[in-house]
Structure 1
Amino acid sequence: MPGPPSGPAVPAVPETLFLSTIPGASPSKWVDRFTSRERRVQLVNHDVGGQVAFLAPGPGGSAPRGLPQLGYLRWRLDSSPEQLLTAAGVDPADVHVVRFYEEDPVVCVGQDHLLAAWDVEADGPVPAAELDTAEVMDPARFAPEPPADPLDAPEVPGSGERMAVEIVATGAGHVVLPASVARMFGRKDVVVLPLARDAAHPGWAVGLAWLRTVDSQLVQDFIGAAKGRRPGSSRNDHLRDGTSGTTPAGRPRAASGTARSGQAGSSGSARASGPSGKSGKSGKGSKGGRRR
């Protein structure tokens, strides 16, 4: 009998991981480790206000379609991912969270602002007491409503942070941001100064989260790439490591190959994603006396 017809091999359709990102996130290194001819990543750029949308319960108790399967979360260090999820109406017991790194707070002011003369080398980070609470520009004031569908992205991701930085560039007020976000939306006419960590501005933690119901080899392989895990390592490593990403004392645990502060600029987009922010060099404060 004749054998099966010969012909060119049909290429395999690559598996696609949908990854929800936030301003300041830099998944490119992890994506490069993860992708191959069989796997690719589609980024969905979300604002911080919509970062939990892909974890929100839908019909049947799981997120609609289970997409994105994985995403970034950022929360204040005086809080926890469990508190962030609970406030958004998500049961923390339904979610795996792996904590990766911390981010320092910075304050952005225009070149004509009094704080622009702050001498970091002489006086160190700016104390929160030096900030006029009446001058604060909260990015949440300028951010649009989060999309109802987690596969949709804002027309201009990070527009709240962009607008806050544009306003302070005129010399009006100040905005406190994670260092990576300040780098992402940096401008030559904006001075970025380190802010002392205290109760008012403790900094942030950043991690990856996914619903237990959509856990898969694809998700575990990406987590492994983010941790620097070797290909073929057990997908259950996260269970031995502890999915909360905290030490018994509650302190953050940095994963292998991660830094204390996140890197600026996420790339890629999804269905309705707008352009990502351009990274820019921040201005430096002039050598002058501290504000009295």
Structure 2
Amino acid sequence: MPPSPPPSGPSTADEIVPETLFLSTIPGASPSKWVDRFTSRERSVHLVNHDVGAQVTFLAPGPDGSAPRGLPQLGYLRWRLDSTPEALLAAGGVDPADVHVVRFYEEDPVVCVGQDHLLAAWDAADGPVPCSELDPAERMDPARFAPEPPVDPLDAPEVPGAGERMAVEIVATGAGHVVLPASVARMFGRKDVVVLPLERRSDAAEASDGHPGWGVGLAWLKAVDSQLVQDFVGAAKGRRPGSSRNDHHQTTTAAPQGGAAAAGASRSGKATTTGRNVAATKGAKGAKGVQGSRGSKSSKGTKGAKGSPGSKGGRGGKRR
């Protein structure tokens, strides 16, 4: 009697083991949208949540001078806009020439105070709080309460953002203030803490006044660049899976000094440009052949009086 055939079922050849991207994040980062675009049956993302003080750890050489492990392959960077990503990398012992940096967006500064603090009575109608209203002696620096950066970039702290969390808890008692990126303040928000917008340098009357805000981007070592990394960066840019990288070509080397101007248009700037283009298109459809027409009312006037382009009184002229 011949042996019975083995039970039918999926072969090991049909099993797909997802390729995993290790992404280093920082407090306030919200990569979920990017991760959702990127993740598929073949690809997954593992988040390694680091403190801001350890955000360049995955890019730095080992303690004995050895080459970096290459994991995480990609990570967030946040830097003050009165500085540059290159300066941040150099301060962390990383050669900026070895790193690709893509800038994505800017973050506004906010100041957090307790409900009993004098600034808690600030009227939002008066605009952002000027930096001159902040007493330097009352400033709480989250770095004072943050743990030491890990030696291994795959070792995340037990409580990511412990420095910011502790600073906010102290501020809640009414002692001092802490200046944070808006996303970080939302992350550690409390009912007994008042969050107020802080005057940005671009909004201030003098260039020396105001807080510069922060820039946020993604960084990775050139030595570990891969299709997996490029696909995630493409997903972060909004590129569809399978589309050519040339469709959304952007310089990925660390941008030169210059802050927001070097980074290009911000999110709000892009939206404004798009809105203007849409409005112009609608105006052109509503008033065909009428230069500078901005609405459909003018086009109605041209129907009544063909000899008067752009006239609002077309119907009245017809009655004459």
Q: TM-score scaled to structure 1, two decimals?
A: 0.81
| 2-structure distance, mates of 1:231, 1:163 | 41
Given that 1:105 and 1:177 are in contact with CA atoms closer than 8 Å, whether structure 2 keeps it comes out as: yes
Residue in structure 2 matched with residue 62 of structure 1 by the alignment: 67
Local SS of the residue matching 2:88? helix
Q: Deviations over 1:52-100 (max 9, x none)?
A: 0000023786312x10000000000000000100111111111000000
Residues 7-86 of structure 1 mapped to structure 2, 5 A cutoff = 7-10=9-12, 11-58=15-62, 62-64=67-69, 66-86=70-90
Which of 248, 252, 257 does residue 243 from structure 1 map onto? Answer: 252
The alignment-based identity, stated in percent, is 80
Deviation at 1:212, TM superposition (A): 0.5
> Larger C-alpha radius of gyration, 1 or 2?
2
Q: How big is the shift at 1:233?
A: 2.5
Contact 2:96 2:254 in 1 (8 A): no
2:143 is the counterpart of 1:140: yes
* Aligned residues of 1:19 and 1:42 also touching (Cα < 8 A): yes
Cα distance per residue 1:76-133 (max 9 Å; x no partner): 0000000100111111111000000000000000000000000011x10000000000
Letter paired with 2:226: S
Structure 2 residue 185 is the aligned partner of structure 1 residue 182? yes
Summarize the alignment of residues 1-292 of structure 1 with structure 2, pairs less than 5 Å apart: 7-10=9-12, 11-58=15-62, 62-64=67-69, 66-121=70-125, 123-198=126-201, 199=208, 201-235=211-245, 240-244=249-253, 246=255, 251=261, 252-253=263-264
Query: How many residue pairs were aligned?
Result: 254
Partner secondary structure for residue 154 of structure 1? coil
Contact (CA 8 Å) 1:76, 1:202: kept in 2 or not? yes
191-200 or 23-32: bigger deviation: 191-200
> What letter matches 2:240 in structure 1?
R
Secondary structure of 1:181 counterpart: helix
Cα pair 2:114 2:174 within 8 Å, conserved = yes
Q: CA deviation at 1:230?
A: 1.7
Does the 8 Å CA contact 1:108/1:176 hold for their aligned counterparts? yes
Q: Distance in 1 between matches of 2:140 and 2:258?
A: 34
Distance 1:151 1:174, change over 3 A: same
Residue 155 (structure 1) shift: 1.1
Q: Find runs of 4+ consecutive structure 1 residues off by over 4 angstroms.
A: 235-238, 244-250, 254-260
SS in 2 for 1:144: coil
What is the rounded CA distance, in whole Å, between the counterparts of 1:50 and 1:82 in structure 2?
Answer: 16
Gaps of 5+ in 2: 1-5, 202-207, 272-320
Quote the Cα distance in structure 1 between the aligned partners of 2:30 and 2:20.
19
Shift of 1:232: 1.7
Please provide the CA RMSD for this pair. Answer: 2.5
**What letter matches 1:46 in structure 2?**
H
The structure in which a higher percent of residues are helix is 2
Give the distance between the partners of 1:179 and 1:150, measured in 2 at CA.
Answer: 26
Structure 2 residue matching 1:99: 3-state secondary structure: strand
Distance 1:257 1:208, change over 3 A: farther
Q: Measure, in 1, the Cα distance between the counterparts of 2:196 and 2:134.
A: 12
Tell me which amino acid in the other structure corresponds to 2:264: R
Unmatched 5+ stretches in structure 1: 261-292
The alpha carbon displacement at 1:201 in A equals 1.8
Rate the CA distance shift 1:124–1:248 in 2: closer, same or farther, 3 A.
same
Compare 8-17 and 47-56 and name the one that shifted more: 8-17
CA distance in 1, matches of 2:102, 2:88: 14
Q: Which of 44-53 and 196-205 deviates more?
A: 196-205
**Alignment CA distance shift 1:34-1:256 (3 Å):** farther
1:191 aligned partner, one-letter code: V
Q: SS at 2:195's partner residue?
A: strand
- Who is 1:267 aligned against? none
| TM-score normalised over the length of structure 2 | 0.74
Deviations 1:115-160 (A, max 9, x none): 0000011x10000000000000000000010110000011110000
Higher RCO (CA < 8 A, seq sep 6+): 1
